[in-house]
Amino acid sequence: MQELTLAEELRQAERAVSADKERTLAAREFEARLEENAGLAFRVARAVLHNTADAEEVAQEAFLRAHRNAGRLRDGRSFRAWLVRITFRMALDRARAMRRRERRETDWVRSRPDVSAEDAAASGEMRRRVREALDKLPEKFRLALILTAIEGHSLEEVAEMLGVPEGTVKSRLHFGRKQLAEQLRWLAENTKKR
Amino acid sequence: MACREYEEALRDLAAGPGGPAVGGDEAEREVRLRAHLEACADCHATFEYERQLYAAMDAALWEEVNLGVPGSLAARVHAAAETDAEQARAVFWRAPAFAALAVLSIVLAVFIGLRGRHGASPPSQTGVNAPSIARQTGAKQAGQAARAAAPAEVLGLGHSARAARVEQRKAAVREPPTLEVLVPPEERAALQQFISRVRQHEELGVAFLNSVAEKEDGPQHVAPLEFARLDVMPIEFEDED
């Protein structure tokens, strides 16, 4: 009887140790993923939303959502690609909601505030125009441009994140850049006319 | 103003690789275009403008997407993950409690249902001399007498078994304050004895012995109650209908 109890106690201890190990591993995995990918999620969200606070919120939600469901991924490397897609989608949704809200509000206010002096400064003005032009690009071109512009991403990495061949990324970049330039030209001409 | 025929090619060149496949030797076309740029001042100026536009655009885009990541992001994610885990734990503990409550409710409902169903169960016909069960639950004496006497009444009057069951259930639910039992005169003494015995043994189930009717709807005849044929046995409920 005592032996049985002892064996049972040993089994319980083993179970507790293995559960502890699992928890530690999961925590380490979480930390590694956070360190490696949170910045990327934030930058993708920021490039869509153009607002740090909203981008932080979206990045946080997207990261947790991706992490929660990471068990379903066959390949651990695809976490990054998945996170990018979730973040991009969530950021687009939020941007649309923000635009709708803005439209409702401007129905009341009617006039938009003038561009500030800071915004009018050469580099600021260009960035503002790029932001506006970027928002008008088709989603697949926009994401390719954002991911390639984010520091340190090669064409190969972007292709892996998007799950498309490198040639496709190259082509999306080409047409995305052309459309972006077109938008900038149009914006510049319109500003001149005003 | 660039030459019209070279305008699109100039923009494609400025936009970088990955442009549309026009056919023919791409390298050869680029060599031809660059030679034209050397010779045509307008096209050269347009191409320079395009190059500068793309350079400025790339720089602005780079600045736009490579902003510093806020230091608060990791802390936010940790806090949200902790909240998530707490909610998951709460659900984990709450779920079994709800499940247990649901199971308990079902068991209770089934128990009450069975009691209602079998509490005043009429004689069933599962075979020759198969016992039918009138359950003793320690209820009021009137109730006991009703349950004990009811089969005699019903059988004596020759009701159909199904109709008898319905009547029995109704009677069990209604629990009449005063009891009227129709008993053939030759069985009255035995029934009286029987009821007094049952009252002494409230913890026991009571089985009536009855023979199977040939036709379910036909009149049923039972032999007069005799204590020699009264068995005390464990209660076994059988599925009805």
**What confidence tens digit (pLDDT) does each residue in B15-65 have?**
877 766 655 667 777 888 888 888 888 888 888 888 888 888 888 888 888
- Asked if A127 and B57 count as a contact pair (C-beta separation under 8 A), the reply is no
Here the ipTM equals 0.74
Could you give the count of Cα atoms lying within 13 Å of B88 in the half-sphere of its Cβ? 7
| Local confidence pLDDT in tens for the 194 residues of chain A | 555 677 788 888 888 888 888 778 878 888 888 888 889 999 999 999 988 899 999 999 999 888 888 777 766 668 888 899 999 999 999 999 888 887 776 655 444 334 444 444 556 788 888 888 899 999 999 999 999 999 778 889 999 889 899 999 999 999 999 999 988 888 777 766 65
User: Based on the domain organization, do A26 and A90 belong to the same domain?
Assistant: yes
Q: What distance in Å separates the CA atoms of residue B43 and residue B7, rounded to the nearest whole number?
A: 8
- Asked if A155 and A168 count as a contact pair (C-beta separation under 8 A), the reply is no
User: Based on the domain organization, do A25 and A101 belong to the same domain?
Assistant: yes
Token readout for A70 is 């990471």
Number of domains comprising chain A: 2
Number of C-beta neighbours around residue B19 at 10 A = 18
CA distances from A134 to A177, A192, B14, B130, B219 (A): 10, 20, 18, 87, 92
Across A14-28, B38-52, B96-110, B117-131, which has the greatest mean pLDDT?
B38-52
Longest dimension (CA), chain B: 135
Query: Å from A89 to nearest chain B CA?
Result: 17
Token readout for A80 is 């990054």
pTM over 0.80: no
**Number of Cβ pairs < 8 A linking chain A and chain B:** 107
How far separated are the first and last CA of chain A, in Å rounded?
94
Q: To which H or E segment does residue B131 belong?
A: strand B131-134
10 Å CB burial of residue B154 (0-12, 13-18, 19+) is buried
- Asked if B134 and B121 count as a contact pair (C-beta separation under 8 A), the reply is yes
- Closest in A56, A173, A184 to B16, CB measured: A173
Range with the lowest mean pLDDT among A27-41, B151-165, B166-180, B202-216?
B151-165
User: Based on the domain organization, do A107 and A123 belong to the same domain?
Assistant: no
A60 in reach of chain B (CB within 8 A): yes
Domain range for residue A70? Answer: 1-112
Sorted by where each begins, the domain ranges of chain B are: 4-64, 117-229
Please identify, among A45, A80, A112, the residue that sits at the C-terminal boundary of a domain: A112
- Closest in A130, A171, A178 to B60, CB measured: A130
Please identify, among A96, A112, A128, the residue that sits at the C-terminal boundary of a domain: A112
